[in-house]
Structure 1
């Protein structure tokens, strides 16, 4: 039995996986949707990036999980990638869902130069938090009006320190067994850093004909891809 630890991206919590979890459980696997510190039902908990890494490690080690598939979406690919190397032989695979990936010594904002000023301005203006998603942010991503309302309605301010603190990796990320899911409505090609990792023997690419939030727009298809990755 595979144990899936599911970590949604910025502004979101464990609730984002509500339509994916039943599909994984129906296939006989364990599911652990995770809310990171400072978000959703854990608002008010102080958090930096290493806090989020530790949240994921604690979920795995605290429940003594084995044969673990770590799933990181969007921003959460950064802490998930770091946690993947820290859980050692508990890891079966890491799956990055249209996500950023960590680079040692680099932060979320340093890996996103075009948007860095925008993110940092939002953090400064909003008391140390990245302002939540708006309806306009979700346009063109294959979502229904109802799905957009769910995402925007459930979004909470994202702790700014998690976006500006650097990642810490002991080994090259390409050494991890990994699947990268590229959502084509959010850009036809992976970023340059991901493309470089995909040239290695341990990484493989899967594409989805949907937008950046496939757990809402295509939850069954996403679950199928996760099951394939675990297999």
Structure 2
């Protein structure tokens, strides 16, 4: 019984993440074309020992394709311009993405992608919305990237035919989200939840993001 309790304590400790929000310079390896798009505010996710695991820098204003009604009713990931730059990610330690793929330490861009509704993808994730990690040295366009090219670009991170994926969960009660936080939307999954300014032409609004920082799909 004592051993069982010790194991439970160890498991709880291993999955205890913390969040630090600060102002931090953008990675020098990020393209100078992209740097002006991102805010210098950093969101650092630390592991149980307090060591940095992931650091995010998010775009100042997220580009939308939305109508006035959609803006008034609240936008979702589906109104974000597909393939657009969402932010930059520094992976400080070896990290496992939602597909159980190993991601090496380094700096990556994050671009939005919607998983196609095809049979081979059915049931692989609870949601279809993702950010794809792309090699920072090869991603220099301020414009949105088409899905086929984006998948090819992200696949260079994994060295396989599959892109590296960061699952996005829907953000509920956006108006109540006063500051960034870590949240557990489902068992054994942790997300970084934050709000960003967004715009469709001259129409301004806000959008929430919930990036999966820990957790993998269940086979």
Task: State the TM-score, normalizing by the size of structure 1.
Answer: 0.25
- Higher helix residue share: 1
Higher relative contact order (CA 8 A, sep 6+): 1
The structure with the larger Rg is 2
